[in-house]
Amino acid sequence: MENEKKASAISDVGAWAMNVVSSVGIIMANKQLMSNHGYAFSFATTLTGFHFAVTAIVGLVSNATGYSAAKHVPLWELLWFSVVANMSITGMNFSLMLNSVGFYQISKLSMIPVVCVMEWILHSKHYSREVKMSVMVVVIGVGVCTVTDVKVNLKGFVCACLAVLSTSLQQISIGSLQKKYSVGSFELLSKTAPIQALSLLILGPFIDYYLSDKLITEYNISTGATLFIVLSCSLAVFCNVSQYLCIGRFSAVSFQVLGHMKTVCVLTLGWLLFDSELTFKNIMGMIIAVVGMVIYSWAVEVEKQSSAKNLPHSKNSLTEEEIRLLKEGVENIPLKDVELGEAKG
C-alpha cells in the first residue's frame, strides 16, 4: 500500500514536471519563432493546427502499435469538445490582439474563480475556506508580477469572456469525459486531436490573416524557421499529453493554480535568455504567487485527509447497522404489503 502511494506520488510529480517543462519550452520556442527579432512566423492559429496534427499522428501510431487501446467515446461528445477547445484557442488569440497585455493577463487570472464556479454549477463541487484563500493569494501574486497597463474595449471584452468561459469549460470537460467513459488521458487526446487539427488547419489561415493581415502562403520559410516549427510541434505533443494527464489526475482548478508556476518560469527564463526586464514588482509578485501555491497544496492535502477521515466513519456506521439487523434477525421483522398496507405472517 505504501509502495503504491509512493509510485502514485512520483507519477503525479512526473506529470506536473512534464507539463511545466514542455509548456515553458514551447513558449520559449514560439517566442523565437514568432517574434520580429526571430523568424516572424505570426500565424499562431495555424501553428496550433500543426501541433494537433503531429499529436494526432503520434496517437494513431500509438494505437496501431498497440501501445494504447482505442476506447469508444460518442462522436457528438468529441465534436462538442473540439468546438469548445477551438473556441478557447481562437478566443485567446483575439483577446490578445484586441486588448492590452494587462487586461489579457487579468482575463487569464479570472479562469481560476470561473472554473470554481463552473464546477460548483456542473458538478456541485464545494471548496474549503483554505483553498479559496490560497487561490486568491496565487491570483494576487501573478497579477502583481504580470499586469501592467489595463485597457479594454467592447470587442476585446467579449472575446476575453468567450476565451475564459470556453477554456474553463474545456479543462473541466477533459476530466469529466475521462471519468464518464473510463478513458485514459492519451486515448482521449488521440481522439480529439485529429478533429481539432483538421478544423484549425482549415480555418487557421483565415483567422491568422484577420489577426495579422498576412497570408501564410506568402511567408518565406527558412531552415531555421522549419527547425523551430518542428521543435514547437514536438514540445506540443508532451504539453498536450501532460495537460490531459494532470487534469485527469487532479482537477481543473489544481491545473490552473499550479499552472501559474509556468508564468513564474517564463518570466525568469525571459530575464535569463532574452534580456527581459525583471523589476522588484515582478520579483515580489512571483514570491507571493509561489507562497500561494504552497498554501494551496497544503489546503488540498488537508481537504483530502478530512475526506479520508469522514469516509471510514460512514462505512463503519453502515456495517454496524447491518450487524444490528443480522442480530435481530430478518424473520422477526414483519414484512409490509405495500398495496394492502397490512402485515403478513
Across the range 297-309, mean pLDDT stands at 71
Residue 333 pLDDT > 50, yes or no? no
Would you say 189 and 59 are in contact if contact means Cβ atoms under 8 Å apart?
yes
> Which residue is associated with the grid cell 506536473?
16
CB contact burial 275-298 (16+ within 10 A = b; e otherwise):
eeeeeeebeebbebbbebbebbee
Over the chain, what is the mean pLDDT?
A: 78
Would you say 92 and 167 are in contact if contact means Cβ atoms under 8 Å apart?
yes
CA 159/CA 95 separation, integer angstroms: 5
Indicate the pLDDT class of residue 82, thresholds 50, 70 and 90.
very high
What pLDDT, on the 0 to 100 scale, is given for residue 330? 45
Residue 275 pLDDT > 70, yes or no? no
Which of 150-159, 205-214, 238-247 comes out lowest in average pLDDT? 150-159
Across the range 273-296, mean pLDDT stands at 75
CA 274/CA 88 separation, integer angstroms: 28
What pLDDT, on the 0 to 100 scale, is given for residue 342? 40
Would you say 258 and 131 are in contact if contact means Cβ atoms under 8 Å apart?
no
Which of 164 and 69 is assigned the larger pLDDT?
164
Residue 338 pLDDT > 60, yes or no? no
What pLDDT, on the 0 to 100 scale, is given for residue 237? 92
Beta strands in the chain (DSSP E): 335-336, 343-344
What is the full DSSP assignment across 21-43? HHHHHHHHHHHHHHSTTTT----
What pLDDT, on the 0 to 100 scale, is given for residue 332? 46
Q: Which of 44-48, 106-110, 144-148 has the highest mean pLDDT?
A: 44-48
Tell me the one-letter amino acid at 297.
S
What confidence tens digit (pLDDT) does each residue in 168-216 have?
898 888 888 888 888 887 888 889 999 999 999 999 999 999 888 889 9
Across the range 55-62, mean pLDDT stands at 91
Would you say 114 and 91 are in contact if contact means Cβ atoms under 8 Å apart?
no
Which of 165 and 126 is assigned the larger pLDDT?
165
What pLDDT, on the 0 to 100 scale, is given for residue 4? 65
CA 341/CA 322 separation, integer angstroms: 25
Indicate the pLDDT class of residue 27, thresholds 50, 70 and 90.
confident
Which of 345 and 134 is assigned the larger pLDDT?
134
Q: How far is CA 324 from the centre of its chain?
A: 48
What pLDDT, on the 0 to 100 scale, is given for residue 224? 93
What pLDDT, on the 0 to 100 scale, is given for residue 102? 66
CA 212/CA 41 separation, integer angstroms: 10
Q: How far is CA 31 from the centre of its chain?
A: 21
Indicate the pLDDT class of residue 15, thresholds 50, 70 and 90.
confident
Tell me the one-letter amino acid at 122.
L
What confidence tens digit (pLDDT) does each residue in 94-123 have?
887 777 766 777 777 778 788 888 888 888
> Which residue is associated with the grid cell 482548478?
253
Contact residues for 78 (Cβ-Cβ < 8 A; gap 6+): 191, 192, 195
**Neighbour count for residue 256 (Cβ, 10 Å):** 24
What pLDDT, on the 0 to 100 scale, is given for residue 204? 92
